[in-house]
Amino acid sequence: MIRHILRGLGAVFAALLAMGVMTAPASAAANWQPINPTSTWTCRPTVAHATYPQIHFQGCVVINSNGHAQAVLVVNSANAPKAVKIGGWINSQFGSNVTCADSVLNPGFQRGCFGPTVVVPCGDHLNTVYLTVNGSTSWAFAPNVRQDC
């Protein structure tokens, strides 16, 4: 009887462990959110995706009054004839890096993928955003961030 209980507990433990391993990658990626730019946003010009020119995107940086900043990948499907699968990532020299979750973007929507808000270290920092649409990736610069110390 003890052998059956231990075997059952082992199966439960294995199932719980498997669920934890399977959910970890999904929680590591950022979700796309509606955006509401304010005066704290600085953005580079919008560019058309190389493979899907109806999809436009841009890199932005949001800086708060405490000297903290975050990079944002903004995507716009205003002229898209149909829904597309999007994903991407942000490469920030000041540490606001993130992988943007795969998601469906319907026509007529604008969404942002937000990197973490971090303290900007001293120096000049280059930032780049990458947008993947239906498996094809294009990139654009986001605004540089400078912190004088």
- The domain locations on the chain are 1-28, 41-147
Give pLDDT, residue 29.
63
> For the chain, which ranges sit under pLDDT 70?
1-29
Give pLDDT, residue 23.
30
E strand map for 26-76: 41-43, 47-48, 56-63, 68-76
Give pLDDT, residue 94.
95
Give pLDDT, residue 6.
36
Give pLDDT, residue 30.
76
CA distance 9 to 146: 55
Give pLDDT, residue 67.
85
Give pLDDT, residue 149.
87
Can you identify the CATH homologous superfamily of domain 41-147?
Answer: Immunoglobulins (2.60.40.10)
